[in-house]
Amino acid sequence: MTLIDVQSRLLVGALPAHLEAFSLTALEGVSSSGLAACLNALPTSVRRLAFSGPSDSALFSMADVKLPPQLEKLELSDVSELTVLPPSLTSIALQHCWLLPALQLPASLTSACLGWSFGEDTALPGRQARRVPALPQNLRTLELSALDPLPPVAPLPPMLAHLKVPYTTYFTRHHGDNAFQPQPLAPLPSTLKTLEITEDDIHVVELQPILARLPPHLEVLDVSQCTNFNIALGQLPPTLTALHLGSRYTHALGPLPPSLTELQFHTSLGYFPTSLFNCPLEPLPTPLRMLDLSLCDLFGFPLGPLPPALQELRLGDTFNQPLQPLPPALEVLALGNAFNQSRCSALCRRHCGHSRWGTVSMRLSSYRRP
């Protein structure tokens, strides 16, 4: 059951006794007492609840709301004063809330998204940095959305498999604090498989997330949207399959993991469109399917033998090294304006798909190689 854009008076009659999912989005001007009565009237059968309070200056208070006792998934936005969570909860998402860090997250939680949600003083949500509450030990997926870099991060759960950290510097930038060095995320749990770190302000050059040693079973590392990240990663885990780095990364990567299928230097931001990376990448792993160096305008090292599984190869604007025989699986080839190797240049002239910023790009799936 879904109620969207509720405003003014809210009168809900008897709800189905076996209702399992309920969603309510309130607009400004709706009666707080009506919202509380509606939430308190939910049957005990509800397993999934999504509620968004009015997005005005006064957050909706959950102090008088009792959540269904068998609730498994909870999504809340624009609320405050939530004091008790059901012990059956396995997934929670809190966005634009203001709750005390003392709120106890249930031990049953396996997935949590916590964004701009916790502070010591509920009366002053706009004047203090956010906090991270104690995290349940069985948590497997965690997103610390809009994480302020200054407060310490609670110890990460030992069984965590997926971690996403979108940093924000909004609070520190607007309250006179210029110390943007974030608290360490280390030590990262050994069970971690995916790690994604982003930032919302590319002008903060000092924002350098502290990762320390990468977990031994890590499969995906994405710091491409943490534009200024430039700390050497050290030895890459042998299990790594995808590595996405931002435009300011300059350190040598060392031996590439034998399981690597994706290597990309990129950013979706409009700033710093050129990557500073300029280190050798030989030898390329056999399973590699995608190599994207299109932003690496400084990169000019030979690539060596191209992996037989390679499907997409994008090179920077100044790359001008001979390419070894193109693998049979190759579908996309993008070459920079400076590329002037006879065999591939002729291929480009015959099969060019489009031109952008002096770069020729083509799809080779229908091209029959000699």
Strand partners, 112: 92, 142
Name every residue whose Cβ is closer than 8 Å to that of residue 350 and which is 6 or more positions away in sequence: none
Residue 354's pLDDT is 38
Residue 5's pLDDT is 42
Q: Within 13 A of 89's CA, how many CA atoms are on the CB side? A: 23
Q: Tens digit of pLDDT for each residue in 227-273?
A: 778 889 989 999 999 999 988 899 999 999 999 999 999 876 655 57
Positions of E strands within the chain: 2-6, 21-26, 48-52, 60-61, 73-77, 79-80, 91-95, 111-115, 141-143, 162-167, 194-199, 220-222, 242-245, 262-265, 290-292, 312-314, 332-335, 354-356, 359-363
Local confidence pLDDT in tens for the 370 residues of the chain? 444 444 444 445 556 778 899 888 887 777 788 888 888 888 899 999 999 888 766 788 888 899 999 999 999 988 888 888 999 999 999 988 877 777 889 999 999 998 766 555 544 444 444 567 889 999 999 998 766 655 667 689 999 999 998 877 655 555 444 445 666 777 899 999 999 988 766 555 456 676 778 999 999 999 988 877 888 998 999 999 999 998 889 999 999 999 999 999 987 665 557 889 999 998 999 999 999 999 999 999 999 999 999 999 999 988 999 998 999 999 999 988 888 876 564 455 444 443 333 445 555 543 333 3
Query: How many other C-beta atoms lie within 10 A of the C-beta of residue 226?
Result: 24
Chain centre to alpha carbon of residue 215: 18
DSSP 154: P
Residue 263's pLDDT is 98
CB 182 within 8 A of CB 149: yes
Residue 170's pLDDT is 57
C-alpha to C-alpha distance for 101 and 61, rounded to whole angstroms: 16
Name every residue whose Cβ is closer than 8 Å to that of residue 229 and which is 6 or more positions away in sequence: 197, 208, 209, 223, 245, 246, 248, 249
Element (H, E) at 37: helix 32-40
3-class DSSP state of 347 = helix
Of 115, 116, 112, which Cα lies nearest the Cα of 140?
A: 112
Of 355, 269, 361, which Cα lies nearest the Cα of 315?
A: 361
* For the chain, domain boundaries: 219-370
- The pTM score is 0.84
Q: Tens digit of pLDDT for each residue in 111-148?
A: 999 876 655 554 444 444 456 788 999 999 999 876 66
